[in-house]
Structure 1
Amino acid sequence: MKKRILGKTEFEISEVGLGTWQVGGKWGSLFSHPNADAILNSAVDNGVNFIDTADVYNDGDSEKAVGRLVRSRSERIYVATKCGRQFSPHVDASYTTEGLRRFVEDSLRRMELETIDLIQLHCPPTETYYRPEIFELFDTLKKEGKIRNLGVSVERIDEAMKALEYENVTTIQIIFNMLRQRPAEDFFAEAAKKNIGILARVPLASGLLTGKFTPDTTFGKDDHRTFNRNGEAFDKGETFSGVDYMKGLEAVEEIKQLFPEQTNLAAMALRWILMFKEVSCVIPGASRPEQVLSNVQASELPELSAEQMDGIRQIYEQHIWPDIANEKW
């Protein structure tokens, strides 16, 4: 597993990490601690040393599983979790420093850790980015030894740009994949100037980029790919990267033609992301250990050719860009 430096945290982390929304989120199956343990241990066994979780993933069960993993292994495992989504309603007025402090302390208790390597604001409302006192809280938590670094998970590029203005922000987690390419246009360069670590999330567009879906594919009633296709439950961009499902399928079929010898399109999609040197780590999820093995293959694949990179860009511009040109993603 190749390593990259996570911005000004100076953590040397695996370029392929593990996101745990699928381990404990709305993906249509009940949370299973044995399955979570198997997924997490498989990741570490295969060189992954960066795990991304959140307090809201299955009401904290995902964090508990991550904590068990860290305590049971001898390897240095970097833990990133998130806070803020527990505020209800999830609006700027709900955000308080007291509430955020409580969320961080609760996460520490669930994981049974003394310090969180990276705490991230979890897609806060746009207005919250303009409240310095929210960001200043994390300087205090760092002095108290409860966190080592602050990051932000964002929905929109303008939010990412605003987050860059805070000196204590060390990482930004943003949706970036073959079907969501806009972050590479301006944001990546600005982040690099400030030595900000970039975590690429939703890298497989909720599974679209595995190449395994068809027009007839169905998802369980509790799977966000069923109930959030148009943003009914949370931000639309979280499901299929905000791309229309049928148009996404058309794009994926053309992408497959660029890799006629490859049966693992998911690994190629992750390798495409790693072609961007500004990305510190890509964090695909996994709902079973076999998917972990598929994901980590991306680190060993050769670089994509200039022709393949150009072909992916053309497919994006033809199938995806016309529908999202006016979005702020």
Structure 2
Amino acid sequence: MNQRLLGTTGFEVGEVGLGTWQLGGDWGELSDEAGREAVHAALDEGIDFLDTADVYGDGRSERLVGEVLDERDAWDDVTVATKAGRRLDPHEADGYTAANLERFVDRSREKLGAETLDLLQLHCPPWGVYYRPETFDALSSLRADGKIAHYGVSVEKVEQGLKAIEYPGVETVQIIFNPFRQRPAERFLREAERRNVGVVVRVPLASGLLTGAFDADEEFPEEDHRNYNREGDAFDVGETFAGVPFEVGIEAAEALESAVPDSATMAQLALRWILDHDAVTTVIPGSLDADHIADNVAASSLPSLSANRHRQVEQVYDDVVREHVHHRW
């Protein structure tokens, strides 16, 4: 798989990583064994960037990732990014203190079984955190103490990403970016590239909409966020179907079918479209299916999309999707 440098971290990572939200929950029932098998499948395909969080299954995702890496003795071959902050209740800016962050980091180190976390990302913090220099000073102290090697921020909004990279210690930003969420390309990606900040793209397939596998009558399990969070009742609605109303997403996916190259799937079209933006370091689609993981990895080897296909993707966004998402994130 093609590699890209993750900002100033020194880590070279594959263009396609693995998001492990599914290992923790919110996507339907899953056994530990099935979760471990998904991580094994990713490593078998050459994936070397794994993204998790301390709240995915209350640490279950971190634990399963750590168990697989221990079993394969693969820690030196993989970069593991985790996230912290969402354990706060209430989730407020004032909770992003040095003591709380150190407590969260120590818990993640224990769950993963890692002395030092490769990359610690603030987990979609409230707006006020971006104006708390002491929070970022605390992250620098954790780095100096050897508990984390690097830190970044996972953001909801473009403006938050732009604010985050004003702090010199922030080496990465994780953001939603895909053919249904194109606003980061207007300014954020350019500014991140200028500052040599690594960009990790999550929700690249819009919670499955960009696989083209759903129809308007699709039903999801009760415990699946694609069922219970369509209106943002549990967390930011932008994390579910990238914020696109489900019926609109179905219409947009159908309109995109003509842009898919003969040799590719719609999911590969979406991933290739993202990777055609040079400022992106890696995309982290989540999947539990070995065949889907292999198909995702194959997107790295596909040729860049033609200018005409890029225009088609932009046209579908402008005609169908833009009004629902562009002003919000």
Q: Deviations over 1:57-95 (max 9, x none)?
A: 111111011111222334411010000000011122333
C-alpha contact 1:198 1:278 (8 A) present in aligned 2: yes
Post-superposition offset of 1:241: 0.5
Q: How many residues align?
A: 327
Quote the residue 1:23 is aligned against: 23
What amino acid is the match of 2:164?
Answer: A
Quote the residue 1:59 is aligned against: 58
Quote the residue 1:166 is aligned against: 167
> Aligned partners of 1:325 and 1:203: how far apart in 2?
16
Matched, 1:313 2:314: yes
Quote the residue 1:213 is aligned against: 214
Post-superposition offset of 1:259: 1.9
Structure 1's consecutive aligned runs of 4 or more residues displaced over 4 angstroms after TM superposition are: none
SS at match of 2:281: strand
SS at match of 1:287: coil
Quote the residue 1:73 is aligned against: 72
Quote the residue 2:35 is aligned against: 36
Post-superposition offset of 1:264: 2.0
Q: Deviations over 1:248-289 (max 9, x none)?
A: 111110111112625621122111111001000000001232
Quote the residue 1:246 is aligned against: 247
> Aligned partners of 1:262 and 1:250: how far apart in 2?
23
What amino acid is the match of 2:103?
Answer: R
> Aligned partners of 1:244 and 1:129: how far apart in 2?
29
Q: Which sections of structure 2, spanning at least 5 residues, go unmatched?
A: none
C-alpha contact 1:178 1:316 (8 A) present in aligned 2: yes
> Aligned partners of 2:261 and 2:113: how far apart in 1?
47
C-alpha contact 2:23 2:60 (8 A) present in aligned 1: no
SS at match of 2:59: helix
C-alpha contact 1:23 1:286 (8 A) present in aligned 2: no
> Aligned partners of 1:82 and 1:188: how far apart in 2?
21
Quote the residue 1:152 is aligned against: 153
> Aligned partners of 2:57 and 2:93: how far apart in 1?
23
C-alpha contact 2:129 2:135 (8 A) present in aligned 1: yes
SS at match of 1:79: strand
CA-based RMSD = 1.2
C-alpha contact 1:6 1:196 (8 A) present in aligned 2: yes
Moved more, 74-83 or 128-137: 74-83
Quote the residue 2:142 is aligned against: 141
SS at match of 2:192: helix
Equivalences for residues 234-313 of structure 1 within 5 A: 234-259=235-260, 261-262=262-263, 264-313=265-314
C-alpha contact 1:209 1:269 (8 A) present in aligned 2: yes
User: Percent of counterpart pairs with the same letter?
Assistant: 48
C-alpha contact 1:82 1:122 (8 A) present in aligned 2: yes
Q: Which sections of structure 1, spanning at least 5 residues, go unmatched?
A: none
C-alpha contact 2:181 2:326 (8 A) present in aligned 1: no
Moved more, 78-87 or 257-266: 257-266
Post-superposition offset of 1:320: 1.0
What amino acid is the match of 2:26?
Answer: K
Moved more, 48-57 or 318-327: 318-327
Post-superposition offset of 1:34: 1.1
Quote the residue 1:231 is aligned against: 232
With structure 1 as the length reference, what TM-score do the two structures score? 0.97
C-alpha contact 1:275 1:303 (8 A) present in aligned 2: yes
SS at match of 1:284: coil
Matched, 1:128 2:116: no
Matched, 1:45 2:44: yes
SS at match of 1:207: helix
- Measured at CA, do residues 262 and 252 of structure 1 come closer, stay the same or move farther in structure 2, by a change above 3 Å? farther
C-alpha contact 1:23 1:285 (8 A) present in aligned 2: no
> Aligned partners of 2:38 and 2:255: how far apart in 1?
31
SS at match of 1:7: coil
What amino acid is the match of 1:17?
Answer: G
With structure 2 as the length reference, what TM-score do the two structures score? 0.97
- Measured at CA, do residues 172 and 294 of structure 1 come closer, stay the same or move farther in structure 2, by a change above 3 Å? same
